[in-house]
């Protein structure tokens, strides 16, 4: 059972997890290990991961070539996103935390990965069959309102789109515009990522307001992010319906919740 005082007590998240909310939120995490030699179905070797991270620091074409090589070796697009692009972003974050690169370099490299996800969207959407019935469901997926263009959010939206959801764009949305959107359009699922405890009271109030304003009385709220990865009990206190942690499962998990509520 969750602690009823969880929102009044300060909950601290390590710097690494806070960083990941910008680079690759925990809604788009996947457990990765280190294996060698590299074969499809395994995680990247330390050297391959370092090469990808270095390429992303250099240019978009450089990292694209490296990822194309993995595809040629038999890696699937989903595996490439989760264990290639996501793992590369986390490696860059580790380099920044250990003072091996400057924050400006980190930002540039992650920008290259973001551009790549956008460039490859069509290929990714064709990489798997959609969920039967998902095309009639609408999702709004939002991260930190100060960073709506995060790599993690782009990837999460890509997984939902690939599974057939109608995903309404949230880039540039404020809390006010999010409220206006659910008042105007039917939305089945709202996904929110929570990075730290600084906005817990506001997030709880926002979820309550969104439920009250929604055209859809059966609106489902999925919450995730670094804070909830460390403190899953907070999901209930925030007013979320369920906790979503991994991108390749979040869409399917959300679809099951929405379908169950609409039977």
Distance of alpha carbon 169 from alpha carbon 177, whole angstroms: 12
Residue 219 and residue 119 share a domain: no
Cβ–Cβ under 8 Å, residues 201 and 231? no
Pick the most confident of 74-78, 216-220, 233-237, 246-250: 216-220
Residue 114 and residue 85 share a domain: yes
Residue 119 and residue 196 share a domain: no
Q: What band does 218 get if pLDDT is binned at 50, 70 and 90? A: very high
Cβ–Cβ under 8 Å, residues 235 and 228? yes
Residue 165 and residue 112 share a domain: no
**Cis link prior to 61 (omega < 30° from 0)?**
no
Residue 146 and residue 43 share a domain: no
The boundaries of the domain holding residue 111 are 15-125
Q: Which of 149, 241, 141 is nearest to 192 (CA)?
A: 141
Q: Does residue 108 form part of some domain?
A: yes
How many other β-carbons are positioned within 10 Å of the β-carbon of residue 245? 18
Q: Does residue 213 form part of some domain?
A: yes
Point out the domain boundary residue: 61, 95, 125: 125
Q: Which helix (H) or strand (E) holds 189?
A: strand 189-193
Q: Does residue 99 form part of some domain?
A: yes
Residue 88 and residue 31 share a domain: yes
Residue 156 and residue 199 share a domain: yes
Q: Does residue 152 form part of some domain?
A: yes
pLDDT digits (tens, 9 = 90+) for 122-157: 999 999 999 999 999 999 998 765 454 578 888 889
Point out the domain boundary residue: 94, 125, 156: 125
For residue 74, give both structure tokens: 């038999």
Model-level pTM? 0.82
Residue 158 and residue 256 share a domain: yes
Q: Does residue 4 form part of some domain?
A: no
Residue 141 and residue 99 share a domain: no
Residue 121 and residue 63 share a domain: yes
Residue 117 and residue 149 share a domain: no
Q: How many domains does the chain have?
A: 2
pLDDT digits (tens, 9 = 90+) for 170-192: 877 888 999 999 999 999 999 98
């Amino acid at each position: 059972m969750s602690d009823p005082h969880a929102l009044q007590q300060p909950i601290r998240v390590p710097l690494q997890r806070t960083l990941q909310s910008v680079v690759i939120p925990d809604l788009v995490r996947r457990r990765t290990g280190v294996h060698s030699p590299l074969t499809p179905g395994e995680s990247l070797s330390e050297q391959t991961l370092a090469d990808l991270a270095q390429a992303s620091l250099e240019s978009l074409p450089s990292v694209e070539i490296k990822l194309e090589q993995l595809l040629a070796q038999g890696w699937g697009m989903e595996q490439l996103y989760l264990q290639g692009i996501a793992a590369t972003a986390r490696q860059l974050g580790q380099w920044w935390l250990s003072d091996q690169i400057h924050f400006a370099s980190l930002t540039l490299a992650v920008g290259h990965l973001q551009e790549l996800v956008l460039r490859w969207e069509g290929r990714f959407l064709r990489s798997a069959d959609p969920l039967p019935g998902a095309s009639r469901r609408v999702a709004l997926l939002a991260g930190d309102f100060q960073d709506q263009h995060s790599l993690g959010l782009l990837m999460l939206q890509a997984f939902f789109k690939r599974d057939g959801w109608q995903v309404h764009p949230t880039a540039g949305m404020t809390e006010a515009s999010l409220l206006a959107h659910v008042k105007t359009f039917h939305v089945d699922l709202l996904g929110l990522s929570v990075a730290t405890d600084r906005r817990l009271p506001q997030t709880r109030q926002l979820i309550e307001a969104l439920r009250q304003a929604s055209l859809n009385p059966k609106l489902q709220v999925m919450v995730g992010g670094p804070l909830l990865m460390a403190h899953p009990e907070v999901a209930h206190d925030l007013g979320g319906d369920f906790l979503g942690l991994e991108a390749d499962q979040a869409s399917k998990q959300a679809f099951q919740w929405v379908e169950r509520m609409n039977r």
